[in-house]
Amino acid sequence: MLTIRCVQPQDVFSVIKIAYEALPERYDPRIFNSFYESFPQGFLIAEKHHKIIGFLVGIKTHDTRAKILMLSVNNNHRKQGIGSALITKFLQEMVLQNIKQVDLEVRTNNKIAITFYKKHGFDIIETIARFYQNGEDAYSMRRILRPN
Ligand SMILES: CC(C)(COP(=O)(O)OP(=O)(O)OC[C@H]1O[C@@H](n2cnc3c(N)ncnc32)[C@H](O)[C@@H]1OP(=O)(O)O)[C@@H](O)C(=O)NCCC(=O)NCCS
């Protein structure tokens, strides 16, 4: 059975492992604890048979705005609706937190993630040239949860 829940401190090691396997950026492991401490409602994990198989990190950037910083599902669990379950729960939680707008950046060549985010109601707002450390461009994407 799939469970989506807020991260707990003891989950952070598994999250770091998935992040290293799936995401090109290299993060200081301490940053995951700071995400948890600053906005635990935005840090969700997907768990199946007591194993963590995906996670989403979102932060609050303003009273009524949030940003998704990371989303990843274990390679051998993709295309099974787990990413969708994570983002759906995240967006529901953001409505409860009175968030009106959720932003994110995604590599312009990450077609799978762009398709995924569009399916979940995000629109491309602009292209940010050389956004990533290796010089790749990003799309800024946004979903409005509640108009002003
Ligand atoms: C993006 C990601 C999180 C999607 O997770 P997932 O659990 O595989 O996604 P879902 O099964 O919920 O898919 C939902 C929709 O996304 C799109 N999608 C997902 N994988 C896709 C693929 N391989 N090819 C095309 N579309 C895809 C489809 O529209 C899909 O809907 P469908 O199943 O009705 O066709 C996952 O591919 C991943 O971890 N990628 C590596 C990390 C990454 O790029 N993160 C995002 C940038 S930070």
CATH of the domain at 37: 3.40.630.30
- Nearest CA-CA partner of 136 in 107, 105, 104: 107
Please indicate whether residue 78, judged by its CB atom, sits closer than 6 Å to ligand 1: yes
pLDDT surpasses 90 at 34: yes
Domain span at residue 130 reads 2-144
The pLDDT tens digits of the residues spanning 48-91 come to 999 999 999 999 999 999 999 999 999 999 999 999 999 999 99
3-state secondary structure of 18: helix
Tokens of 16: 């770091």
Say if CB 129 and CB 108 are below 8 A apart. Answer: no
pTM (two decimals):
0.96
The pLDDT tens digits of the residues spanning 85-130 come to 999 999 999 999 999 999 999 999 999 999 999 999 999 999 999 9
Ligand 1 centre and the CA of 128: distance in Å?
22
Among 73, 111, 112, residue to substitute to test ligand 1 (most atoms within 8 Å of Cβ): 112
| Residue with CA at minimum distance from ligand 1 atom 32 | 79
The number of folded domains in the chain is 1
Among 21, 48, 76, 78, residue to substitute to test ligand 1 (most atoms within 8 Å of Cβ): 78
C-alpha span between 69 and 39 (Å, rounded): 12
- Nearest CA-CA partner of 64 in 38, 103, 122: 103
Say if CB 3 and CB 47 are below 8 A apart. Answer: yes
Residue type, 64: T
Please indicate whether residue 106, judged by its CB atom, sits closer than 6 Å to ligand 1: yes
